[in-house]
Amino acid sequence: MNLSLNFQLDFSPFNLTIEQTLSLQGITGVFGHSGSGKSTLLRAIAGLEQNLVGEIFLDDTCLINHSDRKPKTFIKPEQRHIGLVFQDSRLFPHVNVFGNLKFAAKRCQNRRVDFNEIIKLTELSSLLHKQVYELSGGQKQRVALARAILAEPKLLLLDEPLSALDRHAKISLLKLMLNIQKQLQLPMLYVSHSIDELQQVCDELLVLSQGKVIGYGGIHQMIHQLNHTQDRALNHAQDHTQADDYLHQQTSLSLPIKTLDNGHGLAVLSLSSAIDESQEIYLPALVKNTESVHEQTLRCFILASDISISLIEPVSSSIVNHLFAKITALNSLGNKVLVTALYGDKNKGGGEIKGQEQIFFINISTFSQQQLALKIGQSVYLQFKAGAVRTYLY
Amino acid sequence: MISPDVLALVTTLKMAALTTIILLLIGTPMAWFLAKMQSRFKVIIEAVVALPLVLPPTVLGFYLLIAFSPQYLPGQLWQQATGQQLAFSFSAIVIGSVLYSMPFVIQPLQKAFEQLGDPLLEAGSMLGAGALDRFFNIVLPSTKASFITAASLGFAHTVGEFGVILMIGGNIPGETRVLSIALFDHVEAFDYAQAHILAICLLAGSMVLLACIYLLNRPTTKVAKGQL
């Protein structure tokens, strides 16, 4: 499914200008800080912003085509078959949970999804007869999600549905989203200001800043691109006051799982390359639970500040992960240096090329860089503890 | 032979009920329009709607009397359409009451619509509900209490009307002689016993009606407390 956006929305002094085609498969993330225009983008796609100039196409359907404020085409939100889960759930207070769900199901023409199946999937059976004000924040969002799905949209928009929830509720809702995506094959556009959440569930990422698209691509690639961003609005904040909004420089990975628990409290991922086919990455053991680890691969990330560099192989160290890699870039910012290193250089392997290259990002001080005399092209050992390999969901 | 006071009661109830129905029918779209309006003319329309709250009823009655008379266009049009004179008729006091009680119906509704805002309506449209569907299945049930308040206040205020009716309706039994005017008649005739009966009935009736409004509005405040 293709969503082609080419429009401007003027709320002086804020201006949203989007010119981008998104190929919607799986979950596409929309990242940006508050005021970047990500919610407005969703509202425009949903049809709740009518004053835009330009056009939006969903596949071949023209959702809106306005030029110079003269509407040529405008499909009303209720006729777009697009679902939207709001940040503040917006459940109807005059009916109970069941009534909210029925509201959606009654107005849906195709009836492809089964009412009871969705209730089971979203684990709402025990809440059906509760009043809306009796629900917790996480339960409300689960109802809102189920309600949106029961309207059987072609595309589901999620506008920071997790931002008001605690971490536990966030994780269970994210898993639910992944599960629903897989079962119903429903394309989703998921807006969040938390890169950790997006890293776990999105395949593609659209990055907005101050009303403009500053990047669109695969999730890992985009996160790595953000490591270098000099954008003032997105910049890596120096103060940690807004821990959630703080954008950490990191290496984002999807790796095949070898073992969930090797008997020593560690899980093992495989990072094979041309040089070493059996390179393993250790991380704290993953708890096996029902739906999560049918997964063959694990999404994880390593903060650039959690990796250190050694010139000799750190054989006698408690740090379990060490990789041989070649420095490809050095970027200094203040008294810190962001080192980019490539693991598994294909050119070195010779003969048959197997496996993959993997880029890593390391944050060290200028002092260390000078001590070790690090240069581009130099081969070094990267080391990081098992605990530095993080995953948000498991 | 039906007692004149009972006849006045029937006329009063008929007038108040009809006025309330008309006000709900025209007041709801007007209140909706005002709640959603963003133009700077909004304050002017709001002021016009609120005018009967401060205007002496006799002023409104005076202008209506002139407008309803056969010499002026509204009265002429009415006479052509119905063949009857508008001034000093039951229709005249209903029209007068509609204008006089309008703020009591429009203001609570407008406030309720403004308070409801767009969030739930947007949620409704994202679930495939069209404009009328949204009004009947989201707005109406969410603002039920305000509709009850609006209808009750409109009704009670119409029952209590005096000045406007005296000016444009006169005192025709079975047509324009309502309770408040019957009471005035008794006092003028020094029939204090009858006056007492009517006065106490009006007082008790208004009291009961207002108590009912507050009683009906209570459950929603409970819900609001539960949400906090």
Of B119, B125, B127, the CB nearest to A147: B127
**Chain B residues near residue A76 by CB distance under 8 angstroms:** 125, 130
Using a CB–CB cutoff of 8 Å, tell me whether A90 touches chain B. Answer: yes
A333: left (phi over 0), alpha (psi -120 to 50) or beta: beta
CB contact under 8 A, A90 and B123: yes
Q: What residues in A contact B226, CB-CB < 8 Å?
A: 131, 133-134
**B100-156 pLDDT, tens digit each:** 999 999 999 999 999 999 999 999 999 999 999 999 999 999 999 899 999 999 999
Pick the residue of B118, B120, B122, B127 with the most A CBs within 10 A to test the interface with A by mutation.
B127
Confidence of residue A349 (pLDDT cuts 50, 70, 90): very low
Coarse DSSP helix, strand, coil percentages of chain A, rounded to the nearest 5 percent: 25, 35, 40
**Distance (Å, rounded) from C-alpha A34 to C-alpha A157?**
17
- B61 part of a folded domain: yes
pLDDT in tens, A254-266: 888 888 888 888 8
Q: Which of A162-176, A261-275, A372-386, B147-161 has the lowest mean pLDDT?
A: A261-275
**Does A217 or B219 have the greater pLDDT score?**
A217
Distance from CA of B208 to the nearest CA of A (A): 27
pLDDT single digits (tens) B36-53: 998 888 999 999 999 999
Query: Looking at the predicted structure, is the pLDDT value of residue A233 above 50?
Result: yes
pLDDT digits (tens, 9 = 90+) for A23-74: 998 999 999 888 889 999 999 999 999 888 899 999 999 999 988 766 688 9
Is the predicted pLDDT of residue A229 greater than 70, yes or no?
A: yes
Closest residue, chain B, to A148 (C-alpha)? B127
Q: Left if phi > 0, otherwise alpha if psi is -120 to 50, otherwise beta: which for B177?
A: beta
Class of domain A2-227: alpha beta
Assess whether pLDDT exceeds 70 at residue B228: no
Answer yes or no: is pLDDT of B158 > 70: yes
Query: Of A72-81, A136-145, A195-204, A345-354, which range is least confident?
Result: A345-354
**Vertex B81: Cα angle to B79 and B85 (nearest 5):** 20
Nearest Cβ partner of A93 from B129, B137, B142? B142
Is B18 a member of any domain? yes
**Partners of residue B223 in chain A, C-beta under 8 Å:** 93, 131, 133
DSSP state of A125: G
State yes or no: pLDDT of A18 exceeds 80.
yes
The residues, any chain, with a CB within 8 Å of residue B217's CB and separated by 6 or more, are B145, B148, B149
Q: Quote the CA–CA distance of B156 and B145 in Å, as a whole number.
A: 16
pLDDT band for position A124 (cuts 50, 70, 90): very high
Binned at pLDDT 50, 70 and 90, residue A353 comes out as: very low
CA of A291 vs chain B CAs: smallest distance (Å): 29
Chain mean pLDDT for chain A: 86
Which of A243-257, A286-300, B5-19 is predicted least confidently? A286-300
Query: Virtual CA dihedral for B9, B12, B17, B22, nearest 10 degrees?
Result: 170
Query: Does residue B195 lie in a domain region?
Result: no
Q: In angstroms, what separates the C-alpha of A170 from chain B's closest C-alpha?
A: 22
Cα(A212)–Cα(A199) distance, rounded to whole angstroms? 21
CATH match of A250-390 with 2.40.50.100: yes
Residues of A in contact with B128 (CB under 8 A): 78-79, 81, 104, 107-108, 151
Return the ∠ at Cα B166 (arms to B69 and B213), rounded to 5°. Answer: 120
- Judge whether B199 lies within some domain: no
- Tell me what percent of chain B is helix, strand and coil, each rounded to the nearest 5: 80, 0, 20
Q: Beta partners for A323? A: A382
CATH of the domain at B133: 1.10.3720.10
How far apart, in whole angstroms, are the C-alpha atoms of residue B34 and residue A46? Answer: 26
Domain spans of chain A, in order of start: 2-227, 250-390
Q: Of the ranges A255-264, A277-286, A351-360, which one carries the lowest mean pLDDT score?
A: A351-360
**pLDDT for position B17:** 95
pLDDT in tens, A290-345: 455 556 788 999 999 999 999 998 888 899 999 999 999 999 888 889 999 998 86
- How close B199 comes to chain A (CA, Å)? 40
Q: How confident is the model at residue B38, as a pLDDT?
A: 87
* Residues sharing a CB contact under 8 Å with residue A169, sequence separation 6 or more, in sequence order: A136, A137, A138, A141, A162
Name beta bridge partners: A322: A383
Q: What is the pLDDT of residue A161?
A: 92
Residue A112: what pLDDT? Answer: 78
Expressed as residue numbers, the domain containing B8 is 4-178
Contact flag B126-A92 (C-beta cutoff 8 Å):
no
Q: Tokens 């970047």 label which residue?
A: A36
Cα–Cα distance, A299 to A199 (Å, whole number)? 7
Q: What is the mean pLDDT of residues B173-198?
A: 90
A78 touches chain B (CB under 8 A): yes
Q: Note whether residue B186 is domain-resident.
A: no
On whether the CB atoms of residues B97 and B12 are closer than 8 A, the answer is no
Helix and strand totals (H; E) in chain B: 12, 0
The number of distinct structural domains making up chain B is: 1
